Amino acid sequence: MLPSSSSSSHQHRFRLNGKPVLSQREKLIQKIEAGVQRKAHFKSRNGCAACKQKRVKCDEVKPICGKCAAKGTTAACQYSNNNNDSEQSQQTLPIYQIQPKSLTLAGINQLANTIIPAELLLHHFYTHTSNRLMGGEKRQSIYRYHMLPLSISQHSLLHAILAVSARDLLCLHRHHQDCQHGYQQIKERQKLVLSFYHHYHRFATLYKDDLLRPPSTETANLAHSNAFLMNVLVVADPASTSYSSSTSNSWVTRKAKDNIDAAFSWIKVQAIHQTILEPYWKFVPSTFWYSVFVDDHHQQKDDQEQQEPSVNTTTGIRKIIIDHLAIICAIEQTSTTTPERNVYLSAYKNLCSILTTPIPRTSRTPSAQIFGSYIKFMIELNAHFVNLLRSKDEPALLMFSIWLNRMRRLDLWWMNERAGSECAAIWEFWRAGIT
């Protein structure tokens, strides 16, 4: 009698669920017969031209992808026109999540969320705007890991962040539009402008109510965060800066009182910055802003001790400017000269400090080191000087235009256009007077 084969004599054992217990050899054969299934993963199919050329993964964020924004190659970041909106909305995923309930409580209505989704604006603020506002890793950390979480419970700050993010996208969109034109580009810009003004209006409304709350560590964090973003928003208002080379938006070229007040409001907002924050000063050491303020103070002190030459030893064109300003403003270098005796003195001293402080060329983010000393000119303007500036007093306009030119050297996206247009308006005002 012939022995039976091993295959015919082999009997499977079965589990309680009825499935047979397979050997390692049988499992391998089963895998070969079924084929190996690849795991699903995200692949960039509709990336920008720059990422496709370099054969790197593109996050497909429009108008400027993350890699192009980081490397500064915005002109090469172009997308083909055959990408549909549904693919884009599915592949542009935010990495910073926020509870939908919080967005509803903050008053982000369905219409505004349809124009530009709040999640997209938060994602852009986290990945790009936080690095472009005003440099330095410590400030970037505050924007990302302190201001954003605080905004979930503080709705005014949430709307300020969304408005700044929309304005930053609008700035990037302008550079992108230089390469691509058409109806789609105009439509995207209109969406960004509508989103900016919606969140800006909501922020301004809620901001007034927040200032009535009793001072505390929490409200001090909120007040300093809102005050900083408010300065950015009033300076970067697209109605007064972007997409226009006209100087008619400046208060200098306007005649009617109401028009002058409206165009001058961005200066008044910054001039009252210190007054708004004064009730919260004793809580500053316990805020997340304190370490930044201490660093700024130490940096300014080091600059004065190590780098800054005195006014008397400054040479070249800056020495000539300082000397002529002292003559024009009738400033005498005596101990009896005080801001009460000469309304120009405080602005003159701050401007001299700026003119005698060199911009560091070795730092990747020079604006982070000297921004505090530069913005000091604006936030310490006394009420009398502000009134002179509004009335187009020539010495005040001269000092203000010098400050604007120095601010342009910091290359801040939210300040460059405003500074350029105001300088052009002041020059046009003087030229008309000479003519």
* Tens-place pLDDT, residues 384-409: 999 999 999 999 999 999 999 999 88
Which DSSP category does 127 fall into? I
Question: Residue 97: its pLDDT value, please?
Answer: 43
* Tens-place pLDDT, residues 65-105: 777 777 767 667 887 765 444 444 334 333 334 444 444 44
Q: Is 20 helix (H, G, I), strand (E, B) or coil?
A: strand
Residue 311 has pLDDT above 50, yes or no: no
Structure tokens, 186 = 């105009």
Question: Residue 306: its pLDDT value, please?
Answer: 47
Structure tokens, 394 = 């020539």
Q: Is 145 helix (H, G, I), strand (E, B) or coil?
A: helix
Give the chain's mean pLDDT.
Answer: 78
Structure tokens, 387 = 């009134």
In sequence order, the 6+-apart residues with CB closer than 8 A to the CB of 73 are: 50
In sequence order, the 6+-apart residues with CB closer than 8 A to the CB of 30 are: 22
Asked if 290 and 222 touch (Cβ cutoff 8 Å), the reply is: no
Confidence grade of residue 284 (pLDDT, cut at 50, 70, 90):
very high
- Helices assigned H by DSSP within 72-117: 85-91, 100-105, 110-115
In the chain, pLDDT over 90 holds for what percent of residues?
Answer: 32
Question: Residue 267: its pLDDT value, please?
Answer: 94
- CA nearest neighbour of 78 among 51, 55, 59: 51
State how far the Cα of 225 lies from the Cα of 362, in Å rounded to an integer: 29
State how far the Cα of 350 lies from the Cα of 72, in Å rounded to an integer: 33
Asked if 254 and 263 touch (Cβ cutoff 8 Å), the reply is: yes
pTM of the model: 0.69
Which DSSP category does 308 fall into? P
State how far the Cα of 406 lies from the Cα of 370, in Å rounded to an integer: 11
- CA nearest neighbour of 119 among 165, 160, 157: 165
State how far the Cα of 200 lies from the Cα of 309, in Å rounded to an integer: 42
Question: Residue 16: its pLDDT value, please?
Answer: 63
* Tens-place pLDDT, residues 108-135: 555 566 678 888 999 999 999 998 887 6
State how far the Cα of 258 lies from the Cα of 281, in Å rounded to an integer: 34
Which segment of 174-178, 351-355, 415-419 scores lowest on mean pLDDT? 174-178
Residue 178 has pLDDT above 60, yes or no: no
Mean pLDDT of 374-382: 88
In sequence order, the 6+-apart residues with CB closer than 8 A to the CB of 101 are: none
Q: Is 14 helix (H, G, I), strand (E, B) or coil?
A: strand
Structure tokens, 129 = 């705007």
Q: Is 186 helix (H, G, I), strand (E, B) or coil?
A: helix
Question: Residue 87: its pLDDT value, please?
Answer: 42
- Measured torsion, CA atoms of residues 237, 397, 378, 263, in degrees rounded to the nearest 10: -30
Q: How far is CA 30 from the centre of its chain?
A: 57
- Please say whether the dihedral angle defined by the alpha carbons of residues 372, 374, 375 and 381, taken in this order, is positive or negative: positive
Domains annotated for the chain, with CATH where assigned, are: 45-74 (4.10.240), 105-238 (no CATH), 307-434 (no CATH)
